[in-house]
Amino acid sequence: MPFTVIDSPIDGLLVIKPQIFRDDRGFFMETYKESDFKSLGILDRFVQDNHSKSKKGTIRGLHFQKQPHAQGKLVRVTRGAAWDVAVDLRKGSSTFGKWYALELSGENNLMLWIPAGFAHGFLALKDDTELEYKCTAEYNAQSDGGIRWDDPMININWPDLGVEYIISQKDMQLPYLKEIQGDML
Catalytic residues: 63, 133
> How far apart, in whole angstroms, are the C-alpha atoms of residue 149 and residue 26?
37
- What is the tally of helices (H) and strands (E) in the chain? 3, 14
| CA 96 – CA 88 distance, rounded (Å) | 5
Contact status, residue 158 vs residue 51, Cβ threshold 8 Å: no
Alpha-carbon span 136 to 44, nearest angstrom: 6
d(CA 20, CA 8): 22
Q: Which residues pair with 84 in a beta bridge?
A: 102, 122
How far is the C-alpha of 177 from the C-alpha of 183, rounded, in Å?
A: 10
Element (H, E) at 40: none
CB 121 within 8 A of CB 168: no
Judge contact between 98 and 88, C-beta under 8 A.
yes
